[in-house]
Amino acid sequence: MAAKSTSILRRALLYGKSLLASQSWCNCPITWLLTNDYQPVPSSSPRMLAKSVGLTSDNVTYDLEDSVTPTKKADARAALRDHLAGLQSRPKSISELAVRINAISTPYALDDLAALAPSPHLDAIVIPKVNSASDLRLVNYALRHFTADRHAAAAANPIKLIALIESAQAVMNLREICAASPYLSGLVFAAEDFALDLSITRTPSLSEFLYARSAIVTAARAANLPSTIDLVCTSYQGEDGIRRLEEECQGGKAMGFNGKQCIHPSQVDAVQRLFAPGEREVEWAVRVVIADEKAATAGRGAWTLDGTMIDAPVAGKAKAVVQKAESCGMDVASLKEKWKGQEPE
């Protein structure tokens, strides 16, 4: 019976047929570890696998897709399975361990899921070339097949899904993609593949990606997804590379992304620093939160602070900034103590 169901699942993955038309999604609570940086590691490199456990990063993703040639897929998969099996636990310096499997349209995806989904240390699966909701539904079905204990209705620690948006079709289907699985925790914009799909050239201004990036952020927020990861910065060497990275981080954060892909360890510190709230931003937010609590007690819906009007949306944003600062390990408690006497004006 198990062999038969696996055969059915393999055919579904290979030919793109959805087996979930009559399936209803469970309402499991999904949690997400704050991710500012997303760093891929080639699974075909034993040296990189060994070095990965020493990285300090919000997310380390082992790659089985673009960095592994077709003739090395099986070897890389086996090496990664053994690597994960050899871990006693997830390294403390890494918040999340993920695997980027091969696209659902390839003959490798099911083998990737069968080999790696059972790993107890795997937190998330990154799915490339997600073009429609059916891609996520098939992965969801596979996870329930291979790791039923982690994906039962009452499971506390399901494997999260992260969808790579790489095509015009994906952008047009964002609403359906975001609603396809209760395990979906974020979207990642793959700019280079998107440029290839549209036959456009990436420029330093990134203006050619404005619509797609805005659509991704908006769709993720509308679906209440915790994470939206911006395009990779291909420059990482020298002063020009650092400046380009900082500009892209600032632009992505301004658009609503809360993280960025990194292709080199040297990018991690800058990405974490620039996507985390600034010290002045956090201090202002703490003052707003403290004063807003007092204003609410006094029945005041709107008030001012330093001559600026504060209402419900502003107070809500301040609370989000404080929460993110706490997640980033910033000393919010000291600021709260410093400004405990803040009053609404």
HEC string for 289-302: HHHHHHHHHCCCCC
Domains held by the chain: number: 2
- Do both 332 and 190 map to the same domain? no
SS3 labels along 31-48? CCCCCCEEEEEECCCHHH
Asked whether residue 82 falls in the same domain as residue 227, the answer is yes
Same-domain check for residues 267 and 286:
no
Are 310 and 261 in a shared domain?
no
The whole-number pLDDT of residue 326 equals 85
pLDDT in tens, 21-32: 222 222 222 222
* Domain assignment of residue 36, given as a range: 23-275
Same domain, 80 and 27: yes
Q: Which of residues 275, 302, 322 is at a domain's end?
A: 275
Tell me what pLDDT residue 284 has. Answer: 93
Q: Which of 242, 260, 275 is the last residue of a domain?
A: 275
Query: Do 117 and 138 belong together in one domain?
Result: yes
Residue 228 lies in a domain: yes
pLDDT, tens digit (0-9, with 9 covering 90-100), for 277-327: 888 999 999 999 999 999 999 888 889 999 999 999 999 999 988 988 887
In this prediction, residue 97 carries a pLDDT of 87
Both 116 and 27 in one domain: the answer is yes
Strands 303-305 and 308-310: antiparallel
CATH of the domain at 230: 3.20.20.60
Give yes or no: residues 181 and 91 share one domain.
Answer: yes
Closest CA to 94 of 26, 132, 140, 37: 37
pLDDT at residue 109 above 50?
Answer: yes
| 167 and 264 part of one domain | yes
93 and 199 share a domain? Answer: yes
Average pLDDT of the segment spanning 140-169: 91
Q: What is the pLDDT of residue 27?
A: 26
Residue type, 337: E
- How far is the C-alpha of 64 from the C-alpha of 74, rounded, in Å? 9
Residue closest to 206 by CA, chosen among 157, 245, 165, 176: 245
Does pLDDT of 246 surpass 50? yes
Mean pLDDT for 125-142 is: 96
Higher pLDDT, 40 or 276: 276
**Predicted local distance difference test score (pLDDT) of residue 40:** 62
Is 88's pLDDT higher than 90? Answer: no
Residue 127 in tokens = 């799915």
The larger pLDDT score, comparing residue 324 to residue 167, is at: 167
Q: What is the mean pLDDT of residues 179-191?
A: 95
Tell me, yes or no, whether 3 lies in a domain: no
Examine the domain organization and report whether 289 and 268 are in the same domain.
no
Q: Encoding tokens for residue 169?
A: 């079709």
How much is the pLDDT for 38? 54
pLDDT value, residue 191: 96
Amino acid at 65: E
75 and 222 in a common domain: yes
Give Cα separations from 159 to 126, 142, 237, 297 (angstroms): 10, 12, 35, 41
